[in-house]
Structure formats: C-alpha cells, structure tokens
Amino acid sequence: MGGSDTVDLTSPVKGVSFQRTKAMREPSVDAPATHYQSVKPFKGRIAGRSAADALRLASSKIPGSGYQNITALTDYSTQYAIEVMWDNQPLWLLFDSGSSDTWAVKSNFTCTSQFGSHTQAESACAWGPHFVDDFRYGENPNLHFSVTFGSGETAGGPLGRSDITVSGITVREQLCGLANTTYWLGNNVTNGILGLGYPALTSAYTGPMGDERDGFHQDYQPFFSSMISQGLIEPYFAVAIERGSSSGMIGWGGLPPVEWSVSSTAYTDILIANIVGHEASAYNYAYYTIVVDGFQYGQTTNLDKYLYIVDTGTTLMYLPPSEYTGNPKERSGWYFFAKKNGNRTELAEAIANSFEPRGAYLFQYGSYFAPCDAVAPRIAVIIDGARFWINPTDLIYKDLVDAPSGMCMLGISTGGYGPYILGSVFLQNVLAVFDVGAAQMRFYSRE
C-alpha cells in the first residue's frame, strides 16, 4: 500500500536512519472514539521540536541542505498539548508523535543555560505552574532518561512508575521520567511531553547520568504501547487539526467527533524515520513516515514518489527542492525517483510558480513568499492513489509578512535532501489515523 515496497532503505542520508514497522494485527475498523479530547495549540519558540528542525540539525554539515534557515520561522510554528492526570495531578503535556518518552518536570528541578554551562532561575525555563514531586510506585534506581532537541533544549532525570490518565483512560504503573535538570524554551503552561512513538525509540539508559552511550541504551514500553497491552483501547489514535491551528481533537482507539468525508481515503504503511543529530543516541528524533505518490497543482500532476514525515509539530509542507543536478543515487535511499529517468525535480519551485502572481524564494526565511492577495492553485497530495485537496486559504500566511517586499509566506518550502514533511498545512485538511497495531496510516478527507 502507498508504494512502500518500492523504497530503497539501504543507504540513508548521514544523520538519518530508517526502519520498517511490523504489523501485529489486522487493521482496526475505524469507529467513533469513546475517549477523545481537545488538543491545545501553542505558538512560539518550539520549532526545535519539529521534524523540520530535527532534519536541519541532522543535515547541518551537508552542503545544499534546504533546512539551514528553518529557525527563522520559529515564532510561527505551532505545537499541541493535551491535559493528563499524572498520579491524579492535572498537567498539560505536549502531545508528540515524534518521540516515545513520557516525562514531566520534577519539583525543585535545576534550570540550566544552553550546554549546561551555568544554572539559571527556574523561571528562565518557562515551565507551567505544576510540578511532580515523585513517582507513585517508586523510582527505578538503574535507569534514567536523557533527551535533546534540535533547538538545543534538554531534559533528563530518573525513570520510575506512575499512573498516567488521558480522557478517563488510566495506564497503570507506566514507566516515565521526571526531569530534574532542563534547558527549555517553555510557554509557561506545559510541563513535559507525552510521547506516542514506538518502544525502540525510547531514551532510557542504564549508565550514569551524562553518559548516554549506545551500549547503555535500553528499550522500554512507552505510554501508547502500554495503553494497548493493558487492553484499554484499540491499537490506534486519530488526530484532527482545525484550520488556522486554532485547536484540534485526538481520539484514543477511535475517531474524534469531527466532520470528515469518504470522498478521499487512503491506507498506507507506516515507516519510521530515525533522525540523529549527534553520535550519542540521546539525540534521537523519530517520526511516522509514509510514501507520497505525488502532487497535483492546477492542471499539472507530478507522480514522483518520495518519503514524507507526518508531523503535527511542523507548520509547512516541505517538498522536493527546486533543483538538483547529478546522480539521484548519490542522494541515498531517501532521495529516490519513481520514474528513474531524470536527475532534476522542481516540485517546490513549480508549485510556488503556479501562484498568481508567482511566488519567490526568500533565503533569509528558507521559504517561498508571494503577494498577500495572490491566488493559490488547487493543490492535492496524492496518497495511495487518493487526492487530498489543500484549502487555498491554508497556503498563504497573511500574518507572516516580509517587510521589505510586503509579501506573505506560502505554506510550502524546499525540503533539501529529504525525507520531506507534511505539516499542519496538510493535516488540517484530513483526519489522520495512526494504526500502530497494523503498522498503517489512514487518511480521510475533511474538505
């Protein structure tokens, strides 16, 4: 499904590895969720936790990467949070499909400067008002966690077991972290992360804190896997982001109560991108990835297949770059062509040029801009043969204006070496189902 069998995974880009996932059961039957909840958007300095920034970090030493300037858009990125009960204490945690660890900030934590060179006031990390004192079922003396994000943010501390509840579903004795040392660019509301990734992508270590060598890494069962193994839900979750990143819904083991259509539906394999920006495995980022069959823009259809990360933490769609001359095989298994008969792709540039008036690439932003009253083309993302149309209003950001030119940012950018990214520009037009049990993603149109 979705062309995943055609993907060459043998030669990943430097800093990016890849793994197929194994289906544990047949795909679930999508039905209304009994348990669902709203997700709360936060805009601000959070691009460092997005797939785009992780790719920027991983490819920072590769000439010609399209991610160098993603930090210029930091203030215009959005991340989402949900309310959880941590041992009966309410907390807001960032909802993250790009990581696997669930952790919160411990009372009396230490806020450090970047690189940990000195201690700062707790307020400098801008965590929310609620902290966790301890684990209900005690600390594991042999394990700790340590994570580092593309922005340089860090968190680490002991692992132990607590009860974690979302939307009335309680996962008993979940192994989770309490960060006692952090460098963070917070929002004064959230107090940690709820990771929804796979067990192999957790960040637990048996060695002493500060020594996170690969040999010390130990997998454990993360939150969503525990929900499944404890028989609490069907093995999938579904996400719907509302237009303008104003809110959203997540359904646990079912579809949240949002409008959707069967006019376009797609079923495609889940592939995992593991993005590493440092030799230490503590610097891992892992994302749900699919094969996209192509794009339609206006009357033009491009059916070259590429790998795309599905990421709620990235705002734009990052597409194959405007130009590449050379042997495609030199770009590795990430950068491949379905047609196998060319050495040039112009998808990002071609779509930008199809705006009226046409868009222009502004290097200082790492994105395309066009007159704010430009007419956007009809754009469809093609997955498993189905077309998912992007609402034209999602393609021009009228609140992000380049002062010298007076132009507005477009919802697309160049994606360098790949993998490429389907951010909220795409996701707010679909209902996305992450069927972990079947190793499958499903999409339903919301047009």
CB 255 within 8 Å of CB 33: yes
Alpha-carbon torsion (344, 392, 256, 186), positive or negative:
positive
Per-residue burial over 286-317, b = 16 or more CB atoms within 10 Å of its CB, e = otherwise: bbbbbbbbbbbbeeeebebbbbbbbbbbbbbb
Backbone angles phi, psi at 312, to 5 degrees: -70, -20
Q: What is the DSSP letter of 339?
A: S
Assess whether 8 carries a catalytic annotation: no
Element (H, E) at 347: helix 347-353
CA angle 439, 445, 447 (to 5 degrees): 160
Assess whether 96 carries a catalytic annotation: yes
Rounded CA-CA distance 215/149 in Å is 21
Rounded CA-CA distance 276/54 in Å is 8
Rounded CA-CA distance 270/214 in Å is 25
Catalytic residue among 101, 269, 293, 311: 311
Catalytic residue among 96, 101, 293, 384: 96
Active site residues: 96, 311
